Chains A and B, each alone.
Chain A
Amino acid sequence: MTSSDAVTDLIRARLFPFPHSHFLSAGQLNTPDALALLDLADAMVGLSRQAAKKTDLLKGRTLINLFFENSTRTQASFELAAKRLGADTMNMNPRTSSVAKGETLIDTAVTLNAMQPDLLVIRHSSSGAADLLARKVACAVVNAGDGGHEHPTQALLDALTLKRTFGDVSGLTVAICGDVLHSRVARSNVALLNTLGARVRLVGPPTLMPADADRWGASVHHDMDEGLAGADVVMMLRLQLERMSGAFVPSSREYFRFWGLDAARLAKAAPGARVMHPGPMNRGVEIDSDIADDPAVSLIQDQVEMGVAARMAVLASLAARVDNEGARR
């Protein structure tokens, strides 16, 4: 299958020399690379929107999804992205063993490596797991979320969503609200949004804010109204329900009262402000359904669509690099 329509031509034209062997963190992207990756991802959107959604950029390649932590939507998004690029995909969902996690991970990596995949997408509950894997395998590794560290493709899809909504990410004021402490999404977003020239605010209770978060290149606010004032984008984070019964937050009703997003609170943000959420949402806890489902305000569905495009851009960039390097070890 050879596709040569206008969209695939555009995609090929936007491929650029990606300088990294792996995609492990949003922080590894410099501004020109981040912009080029977003342009490529933007072109990928066109492919997903036409009837013939498949191209042969990754024809013959093998991608393995290695999800130690369950995530239906992220795994599906990677799988679809790979398939639309013509790759063969396989999903593995090993149980995370509570003992000797590192050993299990490396053993698994060595086994998989022997199968000669080209792309390995990993999600793991331990920070640094993707880096560890990258050092043990010969193929390109994509971090699909490692513990409380990073989720770089989420940051990329969020940036793509913003770029398509506002035209430019630079100059936007983005308020990231909620459980920043445990959020890899927040960490990746702070890094990439800073790289792209946005102003970032972190908003949440002190118990859910990492120590010295104000040194990340973001301002820290414990008062939601203050944190939202004049923001162009309100990015809500998911709060695990088990953290809302007194350990970090007294109760879900108190959380919603002070840090939940409803129409009244959104009115504190800039006129025309848009709302994002990485999903899955706790409706009525961190976000009111009226907001989440309002297409004039919510970008949540756009984020899901942009997820596939952003991941296609990452996979294509890494695969193109393998092409340039010629045959692997």
Chain B
Amino acid sequence: MSPRPLALTGARLIDPAEGRDGPGWLLVKDGRIADLGAGEAASLPDEAERIDCSGAVLAPGLIDLRVKTGEPGAEHRETLESAAQAAAAGGVTTIVLQPDTDPPVDQPAMVDFLARRARDLNLVNVLTAGAATQGLRGERMAEIGLMAEAGAAYFTDADQVITDSQVLRRVLAYAGGFNALVAHRPADPWLTRGACATEGELAARMGLPGAPAAAERIGLERDLVLAELTGGRLLADQITTGAALEAVERALARGVEASVSVGIAHLCFNELDIGDYRTFFRLNPPLRAEDDRRALIEALRDGRIDVVTSAHTPAPAEDKRLPFSEALPGVVGLETLLSALVGLHHEEGVDLIDALRPVTCGPAELLGLPSGRLAEGAPADLVLFDPNAPRRFDAAQLRSRSKNSPFDGRTLQGVVRRTMVGGRIIHQA
């Protein structure tokens, strides 16, 4: 926490929560946003340290709802520390850990343990999602109430589909009693069994076992009806298809408490990218047809996507240097999330404010966080970035222990100049 107030002037303030996008200034004091305004600051405290932002974008620090590390249980993939450093470098100020660790986060002691480890690191804000079911086995409810009390941000079985509808129904109902959010990745478990690609011409030609993209909507329709039945809060997690987005629209019209998250990779890539069997494009759910990617971009543009995640999944070479169908799915994304969103601005014409909404106020509102906005009194979790500066991205330079980035070798725009958490600068470039 900076003892002196910090004045950031000459910035382009972007705050999706307030619909603000324009030149302005912002004053940080005691770890919080003390004041902000458009144009030139009229009077700033004399003792304030000043930073001239030179027109760079000053936005709320990113909130990433879906981050895996290898801690505990697989520290060779990623530690909390390496993940937190990656986040800081990527302008991400709050990460939510997934519970599929070893042992899994399915009881309050594990939530406590991770919170303490994160506090010791003292870098970005680290929250933990609790398991929805014991051992993520989809059979018996985990201690949702006690974990919520211990600070669990929401509840999910991560990549595991809860196939037993009675179990998911009770999880939604029970968590609803605590007003807790349940994230569930929709997929029909039988249609997707053994698949590593989206069923279609390409997968067939490549000889890869595919699952129909409709498996997502089939699973999702059930999840949405269960949310309707129970009144629970459902985050349809890692949506990848236009048909699934339409299913959510219909549910929202019925008054279901549903929201949508999308992984950044599904906004940037399509199934053609797996063309040369590059395992860095092996994802779960798999990359989809271009039509589906376009549907996601349109939804991003008009605010129908509540959350975009990095779906940060560290997988070292031994997990990826394998035949496509045997490789571990997933990519790292903490350090490229912001650049990828900026890329959607440059390449797809998505307004920056729309691209930033699902990584700032979108997730903040779902979790009831005070951050994710530029507002007086909010925590000074901020990112200052140049949206136009190019950089050639070299995965070897990643702070993550695992280097499985699909952006390796590409030129990205959007360079993080400073990342601030609680008014403290934790990254500077």
Interface of A toward B, CB cutoff 8 Å: 205-207, 222-223, 245-251, 253-254, 257-258
Contacts and interface: CB of A to CB of B under 8 A. Distances in A.
B133 interface: yes
Interface in B140-159: 140-146, 149
A246 B138 CA distance: 10
A269 B173 CA distance: 26
A257 B144 CA distance: 12
B177 interface: yes
A44 to B, nearest CB: 42
Interface string B152-182: 0000000000000000001001101100000
B230 interface: yes
A258 B149 CA distance: 11
B152 to A, nearest CB: 12
Contact of B174 (A206, A223, A251): A206
For the complex of A and B, list the 8 residue pairs with the smallest distance between their C-beta atoms, beginning with the closest: A246-B140, A222-B177, A206-B173, A250-B143, A206-B177, A250-B141, A207-B170, A246-B141
Nearest to A246: B140
Interface of B: 133-134, 139-146, 149, 170, 173-174, 176-177, 230
B170 A250 contact: no
B288 to A, nearest CB: 35
A71 B140 CA distance: 29
Contacts of B144: 250, 254
Contacts, number: 48
A223 B178 CA distance: 8
Question: Looking at A246, A249, A250, which has the most chain B CB atoms within 10 Å of its CB?
Answer: A250
Given A206-B230, A207-B170, A250 B142 contact: yes
Contacts of B176: 206
Contacts of A206: 173-174, 176-177, 230
Contacts of A245: 140
A249 to B, nearest CB: 7
Given A246-B133, A249-B141, A254 B173 contact: no
A213 B177 CA distance: 15
Given A253-B146, A257-B145, A258-B145, A207 B140 contact: no
A245 B173 CA distance: 16
Contacts of A249: 141, 174
A212 to B, nearest CB: 12
A245 B133 CA distance: 11
Instruction: Identify whether the interface residues of A are mostly helix, strand, loop, or mixed.
Output: loop
A251 B108 CA distance: 12
Given A205-B177, A206-B230, A222-B177, A247 B170 contact: yes
Nearest to A211: B229
B143 A251 contact: yes
Contacts of B141: 207, 246-250
B146 A257 contact: yes
Contacts of B149: 257
Contacts of B139: 246
10 contacts: A205-B177, A206-B174, A206-B176, A207-B173, A248-B141, A250-B134, A250-B141, A250-B143, A251-B146, A254-B145
Question: Looking at A223, A246, A253, which has the most chain B CB atoms within 10 Å of its CB?
Answer: A246
A239 to B, nearest CB: 14
B229 to A, nearest CB: 9
Contacts of A251: 143, 146
A203 to B, nearest CB: 11
Contacts of B140: 245-247, 250
A207 to B, nearest CB: 5
B139 to A, nearest CB: 7
A125 B180 CA distance: 35
A206 B174 CA distance: 5
B212 to A, nearest CB: 32
Contacts of A254: 143-146
Contacts of A223: 177
A286 to B, nearest CB: 15
A293 to B, nearest CB: 27
B146 A246 contact: no
Contacts of B133: 246
A190 B427 CA distance: 61
Contacts of B230: 206
B145 A250 contact: yes
Nearest to B133: A246
A182 B170 CA distance: 15
A242 to B, nearest CB: 11
A223 B179 CA distance: 11
